[in-house]
C-alpha cells in the first residue's frame, strides 16, 4: 500500500514591474515542483487584445498545466497537495475594486475591498498546497493625478504587504533577474 504524505502549505510571492519576468519565473518554479501544476488566472477579459494575451499565455504553458479561471473567489477551488500559480494579485484586486463596474461612483471603499480580499486570501491558503502568487509593484512609479488610480494603488500596495507578511518566500523580479528578498 502506498501512502502519500500531505504537502505542507507554502506561500511564495513573486513581485516586480510589468514585463519583469514574473509570470515566466513563477511558471518555471511551479514546473520544477510539479509535473502537472495548476494555473489560476484571475483576469477579467476587458477587450479583444487582452483576450489574445491570455490565449498566448495558455499556449506558452502547454498541456502540463491545469488552467482555472477565477476572477474573485479563489477559495472555491480545491488545490490540496497541488502546486498553483495565481496570476495575478493585481488583476484580482481590480476585480474586487471595480466589482463589475468601471464607474468610480459605484466602487466599494478601499477598506471594504481590502477586507474582502484579505478574507478570501485567508480562506484560500488554508489548504495544504504550494501557492505561487504573482503581483505587480504598481506603486513604484510616481503618484497618479487620478483619484481612482491613487485609491487602487493604495489597495494593491496594502494587499501586497499582507500577502508578503504571510509568505514563506518573496522574490523581486528586475529585468528578468530573480532576487530573493524574504
What positions carry a catalytic annotation?
57
* Distances, alpha carbon 19 to alpha carbons 16, 88, 175, in Å: 8, 13, 8
Partnered with residue 75 across adjacent β-strands are none
SS3 call for 43: coil
What whole-number distance in Å separates Cα of residue 42 and Cα of residue 177? 24
| Calpha distance 30→163 (Å, rounded) | 18
Query: 10 Å Cβ neighbour count for 131?
Result: 26
Residue 10 phi, psi dihedral angles, 5° rounding: -140, 130
Amino acid at each position: 500500500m502506498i501512502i502519500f504524505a500531505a504537502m505542507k502549505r507554502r506561500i511564495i510571492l513573486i513581485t516586480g514591474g510589468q514585463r519583469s519576468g514574473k509570470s515566466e519565473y513563477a511558471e518555471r518554479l511551479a514546473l520544477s515542483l510539479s509535473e502537472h501544476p495548476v494555473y489560476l488566472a484571475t483576469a477579467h477579459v476587458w477587450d479583444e487584445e487582452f483576450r489574445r494575451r491570455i490565449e498566448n499565455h495558455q499556449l506558452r504553458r502547454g498541456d502540463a498545466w491545469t488552467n482555472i479561471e477565477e476572477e474573485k473567489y479563489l477559495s472555491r477551488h480545491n488545490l490540496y497537495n497541488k502546486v498553483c500559480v495565481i496570476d495575478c494579485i493585481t488583476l484580482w484586486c481590480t476585480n474586487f475594486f471595480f466589482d463589475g463596474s468601471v464607474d468610480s461612483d459605484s466602487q466599494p471603499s478601499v477598506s471594504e475591498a481590502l477586507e474582502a480580499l484579505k478574507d478570501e486570501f485567508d480562506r484560500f491558503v488554508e489548504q495544504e498546497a504550494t501557492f505561487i502568487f504573482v503581483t505587480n509593484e504598481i506603486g513604484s512609479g510616481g503618484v497618479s493625478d487620478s483619484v481612482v488610480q491613487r485609491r487602487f494603488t493604495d489597495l494593491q500596495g496594502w494587499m501586497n504587504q499582507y500577502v508578503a507578511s504571510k509568505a514563506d518566500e518573496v522574490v523581486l523580479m528586475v529585468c528578468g533577474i530573480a532576487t530573493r528578498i524574504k
